[in-house]
Amino acid sequence: MIWLIAALALAQGMLGVRVVMRMAVSGRDSPITRSDQPSDATITLVVPVLNEEARLPSCLDGAIAQPGEVRQILVVDGGSTDGTRAVTRAYGERDRRVQLVDASPVPANAAGKAWGLIVGLRAATADWLLVVDADARLDPALARSLLAHAQTRDVAVFSVATLQNIEGALQGLVHPALLATLVYRFGRPGGATANPSRVQANGQCFMAQRAVLTDTGAFEAARGSLCEDVTVARHLARHGVRVGFYESDAPVRVSMYANAGDAWRNWTRSLPMRDHHFGPLEVLGLGEIVLVQALPLPLLAVSAMVGAPAWFLAIQAALAATRIGVLFGMSRAYPVRPWTYWLSPVSDLAVAWRLIQRTLQRRHRWRGRTYLRQPDGRFRLELDGGER
């Protein structure tokens, strides 16, 4: 029994050192600073949508508030059956930059959002492409701030660490535990890398030079991915492109999910980041979630009760303290925090189990469509019990 405890502690210690070192060296670059400095560069803003009638107006309010550097605002629709297209046309009457782009039907070998990105890029004419989700609320200074940051940091592709709105006390237990899995695997926002296993990306607010996306075929490479933002970033990194991830003083706020159940069902679909680039290092990252994030707090409690060796207790205490530090560090991502936010580490074990389950799962359902993972890691649409 003591050998099993020792092996577990050794694995935790080795992975814990990796995680702590990653957190220590990441996040050193400054955030995107707020800027109202005009730029000669131009932006096409792309909003991929499917049945977003309720959330789209707030997004487009922020989009049309952007200055003239934003030349196009493309709402790329993948086949909405609600009033999404009517909303888009109404905003087009207010601002000529707003255009509806029909991306339906989605091909069988493409995920819905990934296909929307491909179609949006084809219709774009500006120097830069800025992709935002329909639930994003954009600061009026966002476009100029992003352009200034790109020039200052000499980075051609980067994402914004968006601020998160939590809907209800129960989601306060789940959402932060899910977000923490990203911090453990990739570190803090604030920097750029061309290491495919270390790149971070956030499709809620993603900025890239149009020529870089076109030349590398980055969106096409993510056609069959259910975590298209990460797949794009990994593909670009494999082509030697530095991909950045930053916090921002010109914030973007998002309300990702309606409730805790929605987050549990849907965010865990993409968080494992299971795509055709998924390999041993990504598996190791899941191990870090289990052994370094999820297990220390319950093991500390159980070990104290059963009288485990002092050295084992010390390791669990150190890792648990790291988890509490991550909780405090992440708090700035949540402008309004329910009291349950501070209890969210109790969800870590369930979250770790869920991510492993979803990593192994071949069939996924998203936005009314069922996708089946192929042997090469890409997904295809499944229709009426069979592939199409």
pLDDT digits (tens, 9 = 90+) for 24-66: 999 989 999 999 999 999 999 999 999 999 999 999 999 999 9
What is the C-alpha separation between 70 and 127, in angstroms, rounded?
10
Residue 209 near residue 146 (C-beta atoms within 8 A): no
Which whole number is the average pLDDT over 373-380?
93
Residue 162 near residue 202 (C-beta atoms within 8 A): yes
3-class secondary structure per residue, 37-89: CCCCCCEEEEEEECCCCCCHHHHHHHHHCCCCCEEEEEEEECCCCCCHHHHHH
Both structure tokens of 277: 């680039």
What pLDDT shows up at residue 306? 85
Arithmetic mean of pLDDT over the chain: 95
With bands split at pLDDT 50, 70 and 90, how would you rate the model's confidence at 3? Answer: confident
Which whole number is the average pLDDT over 91-95?
98
With a pLDDT cut of 70, the percent of the chain lying above it is 98
Both structure tokens of 208: 């890239």
pLDDT digits (tens, 9 = 90+) for 251-298: 999 999 999 999 999 999 999 999 999 999 999 999 999 999 999 999
What is the C-alpha separation between 216 and 383, in angstroms, rounded?
31
What pLDDT shows up at residue 383? 65
Q: For residue 21, count other CB atoms closer than 10 A to its CB.
A: 11
Which whole number is the average pLDDT over 364-383?
89
What is the C-alpha separation between 367 and 110, in angstroms, rounded?
13
Both structure tokens of 372: 């089946």
Which whole number is the average pLDDT over 323-329?
97
Residue 368, pLDDT above cutoff 90: no
Both structure tokens of 61: 């309010």
Which whole number is the average pLDDT over 100-108?
95
With bands split at pLDDT 50, 70 and 90, how would you rate the model's confidence at 304? Answer: confident
With a pLDDT cut of 90, the percent of the chain lying above it is 92
With bands split at pLDDT 50, 70 and 90, how would you rate the model's confidence at 307? Answer: confident
As a residue count, the chain comes to 388
What pLDDT shows up at residue 118? 98
pLDDT digits (tens, 9 = 90+) for 121-157: 999 999 999 999 999 999 999 999 999 999 999 999 9
What pLDDT shows up at residue 387? 43
What is the C-alpha separation between 323 and 320, in angstroms, rounded?
5
Q: In sequence order, what E strands does the chain have?
A: 43-49, 70-77, 98-102, 128-132, 136-138, 157-160, 163-164, 191-193, 205-209, 243-246, 252-254, 363-366, 369-373, 379-383, 386-387
